[in-house]
Structure 1
Amino acid sequence: MTKRFVSETTDCDFKAHVEHSRPKSWLKSVSAFANTIGGTVVFGIDDSTHEAIGIDNPQAEIEFISRMIHDRIDPIPHFEIALSGERAGAVIELRVPAGTHPPHYYRADGRREAYVRNGDRSELISSEHLNELILRGTNQTWDSLVSGISMDRASFTVLRAGYALRTGHDIDDADLISFGLVTDDGGYLTNAGALLADEPLIRHSRLFCTRWTGTRKEDPTDDGEFSGSLLTLLREGEAFVKRHNILSWKKTPNSRINLRCYSERAITEALVNALVHRSYLDLGSEVHIDMYDDRVDIISPGSMMKGPLPKDVMSTHVESHRRNPIVCDIFSRMNLMERRGTGLREICSATAAEDGYRSEFKPLFENGPHDFYVTLWNMKFERTPQVAPQVAPQVAPQVAPQVERLLRVMGNETLSLSDIMGRMGLSDKKNFRESYLVPALRSAVIEMTIPDKPNSSLQKYRRTHEA
């Protein structure tokens, strides 16, 4: 019986043959797996049917695979090669765990390139992600590096006051050194110290807040740009959302039910997550709070350290990988976060605890190639019924937020399914089709380039005129 493999994912790549003339076609996946969460390249799988078609002379191919990895991947990652299946349809499985000394480069033809996995694709690494891998490979983190900013330029009034209020203890200059905020000689700030100082010493450590009219980025009614200590950014972000977090109540025979647009605890948890886990290597980037009539999006630069993001964070444990461990330690000491990887679960739990919660208000998390998104739904928003086309054909159709995000990612380009998923940082094709692609097609905001052959391997998608 022919074995059928399900699909390519973030940790699985299919190849029909072992390419000898173009070994880069599969070696870039070796680099990508070693630089991210690990994975398996399966040789001998038909591209369209995902059925095992087998490999001729597997022993010779295994030797070639091993030789190419040793010759063209630097440093050489740990890997295992195994045969799977019956002899006539045997496939080669090349298993590559996450590397311990990244980045792992592909080197040939005068090139030296590093790759990462985005969705089901192996892509060239961005400069900021490459810098993170270099730091990880040398057992360093960005927030531990010396900033070059003299201690004389900084004050820690906000940190000292907040720490005393939340813990009952004072911070002295020796604590600043032991916490990793100041160098051992007391002369310079680390990057973590620069982030927590009162002054805006790191320009791109900023928070941009906007309240938009409607459900798209149109006609802002309120905005704010904030800089300074991360604790200041947290306080200002909470205050901005609270201004628009309308509270009402409903009386019952025995009690009063408070109805909020958003859980305040969920907002705080999402903001802390955005500020402490963001990538500060992406110069010119900021954390954004975008509030709409139906939701609030909190967007932080940098994807998750190690993915992919589980489909359901409530039932699946999310490993705790801290991009900025010194900053995380300070926030943990102040009881503003925990360090066990339950932050996303806490956002969901806090939202579900609200009196106005319904299942459709479950928070949405998206791990994009360059950013991490948290979407909290307005639990008091009532969608306006769509106007019938014969009454008002000029009115654009109402679409779900997932479809709006798909449209933003597509822009005006014509893209394949794997291209779209890669840009959105998604790997679950079934969930992508059900939550994004099919609703977008039904809403007539996107269309197929080959509508007569919906399952064509050449199929792509583009915006319609209505979108």
Structure 2
Amino acid sequence: MKIRELYPDVITEDTSCEYKAVLNQDNPIKWAKTLIGYANDKGGTLFVGVSNDGEAFGIDLEEVDKTKLLISRINDRHIFPHIKISYMMRSVDYNAEHFVLAVKVAPADSVIRYREGDYNETVFIKGDGNATPATPEEIISLSKRKYGIDNETSEVAYTDNLWSEYLNLCKEYRQDKSAPTMKELQNEEIVSKDGYAKSGFIMFSDNYNEDDTMICCRLWKGKNKTGIVLDSSRLRGSIANVFTNALNFIERNTKTGWVKTENGGRDEIRSYPKEAVREALVNAIAHRDYSISGTQIDVDIYSDRIEIVSPDSWLLPKDYNAYPAGSIPSIRRNAIIAACLDVANLMERGGTGFQTMIESYKFSPDEIQPVVSIYPGFLNLRLYDRLYRDEAIELDLEGLTAGEKVMAILKMEGPKPIKELQTSLNYRSRSQFLNEVINPLMESGDIYRDGKPKSPTALIKIKR
């Protein structure tokens, strides 16, 4: 029996249908790439129990059940986001002992990829009879046609009072300090025409408390994670809230120095340019892979650098080293989240984020230029401390009061134990140092103690 006798509309293998005798469970990518190719196109059907020449010999019910379980397992473990599949069976004999199983794949709203091993990912597209890895140009084109997992219309109606944190973020960063109107949000497709928030915009709402927006921040003593954690924070909540709190964590745990000018004055210089830190954090939030459960964005501050690591995959087939940091093609994984950041004036549609980071380091030596690293399942943005190696920048305490000296040290070198500050200011008496310097600064709200009063590990930190 030929397949067209069971399914009259099927003539031959093409971009919408393909035949398989059985599905190989030891090498699933051979057939899974076909399912992915269908999902990335207009959908399609994979017929199991059919030879290459269209002969429908069928498989028994036990094999049908095994095939369905195999497809379900591969879809759950290797295909992201998961594809929508339905099944249809038709018998090939009068006794109904053997069947052709039609595996129908629905077109996906987002770019589907196959994840193998330790998160190496490939995007497949369907050609005439074959599914092949997509080229960079094809991925970019596909991304423009598809929606992300953040683009589903929710049942939550948009109201200002449920998005106050996001509106405050917009007021802080938009040039005119205004909040976006409903019309503007609808024009950007953040809110539907009927007034309902898209799933990505829900992640900016005040009451959002899922783990997928988590950012874990740590301050390390030294250049690696074998050192002591001096400060840490696990941030949860709306994207607007965790973004603001992550910036505050970085601000309070990085240094500010001064460089002497020719006329005897001094100019303030930060370890990390504000715009570079902001762009790196925005990039991590906008492009992270929210389909990888149990992960978060990590912000690690070392003595010489900041590393912002986000769950991500390199969708472009060409190795990332082939793209200079300032000219990496912009592929928006999360269109609605990116649009929300764009409306808040935190992200430009031109994909200039990396270029902004490079520009902010234009007067720095080559060895401390921003670095983008890709390793399985994650993307690492590394910013180097501009004060760490620059001998021209020094901590000048001359002419400052004791309180000003403490503030200068904390800004330049980060949080310090009281004993270390006492030694730096040449105070012999701890009680005198506390009464004359530390306590007044704490009472004025300039600093605070992180830890118990008598604990040797307690740190004095700037309150921001």
Structure 2 residue identity aligned to 1:360: E
The match for 1:211 is: 219
The answer on whether the counterparts of 1:288 and 1:300 sit within 8 Å (CA) in structure 2 is: yes
Secondary structure in 2 aligned to 1:136?
A: coil
Q: Pick from 190, 197, 202: which aligns with 2:210?
A: 202
Residue in 2 that maps onto 1:358: 365
Write the deviation string for residues 410-432 of structure 1: whole angstroms up to 9, x where unpaired.
Answer: xxxxxxxxxxxxxxxxxxxxxxx
Deviation at residue 154 of structure 1 after TM alignment: 6.8
CA distance 1:106–1:199, shift in 2 (3 Å): farther
Q: Is the 8 A contact 1:183 1:189 kept in 2?
A: yes
Q: Which residue of 2 aligns with 1:185?
A: 194
The equivalent of 1:232 in structure 2 is 241
User: Deviation per CA, 1:202-223, whole angstroms, max 9, x where unpaired?
Assistant: 3321211111121222321111
Structure 2 equivalent of residue 139 of structure 1: 146
Instruction: Say which of 269, 274, 281 aligns to 2:291.
Output: 281
Q: Provide the rounded CA distance (Å) in 2 between the counterparts of 1:142 and 1:328.
A: 12
> Which range is displaced more, 126-135 or 368-377?
126-135
Deviation at 1:76, TM superposition (A): 6.5
Deviation at 1:273, TM superposition (A): 0.2
Question: Secondary structure of 2:298's partner?
Answer: strand
DSSP-derived class of the 2:233 partner: strand
Structure 2 residue aligned with 1:220 = 229
The verdict on how the C-alpha distance between 1:148 and 1:219 changes in structure 2, with shifts beyond 3 A counting, is farther
Report which of the two structures shows the higher radius of gyration computed on alpha carbons: 2
Q: Verify: 1:369 aligned to 2:343, yes or no.
A: no
1:251–1:299 Cα change, 3 Å: same
Pair 316,198 (structure 1): closer, same or farther in 2 beyond 3 Å:
closer
Q: CA deviation at 1:343?
A: 1.6
**Matched residues, percent identical?**
21
Shift of 1:366: 1.5
Aligned partner letter, 2:259: K
Instruction: Write the letter of the residue equivalent to 1:135.
Output: D
- 3-state SS of paired residue (1:155): helix
Is contact 1:211–1:292 with CA below 8 Å preserved after alignment?
yes
In structure 2, relative to structure 1, the CA distance for the partners of 1:223 and 1:28 (3 Å cut) is: same
The answer to whether the 8 Å contact 1:105/1:112 transfers is no
Mark the CA change 1:283 to 1:28 in structure 2 (over 3 Å): closer, same or farther.
closer
Query: Whole-Å Cα distance in 2 between the matches of residues 350 and 247 of structure 1?
Result: 16
Q: Tell me if the contact between 2:215 and 2:246 (Cα under 8 Å) persists in the aligned partners.
A: yes
Give CA deviations for 1:11-36 in whole Å, capped at 9, x if unaligned: xxxxxxxxxxx99999948977xxxx
How many residues align? The count is 291
The change in CA–CA distance for 1:151 and 1:361 in structure 2 (over 3 A counts) is: same
- The secondary structure found in structure 1 opposite 2:327 is coil
Shift of 1:157: 1.2
Judging changes above 3 Å, is the alpha-carbon distance between structure 1 residues 153 and 147 closer, same or farther for their aligned structure 2 residues? farther
Q: Please give the per-residue CA displacement for 1:7-60, whole angstroms capped at 9, x wherever unaligned.
A: xxxxxxxxxxxxxxx99999948977xxxxxxxxxxxxxxxxxxxxxxxxxxxx
1:434 is aligned to none
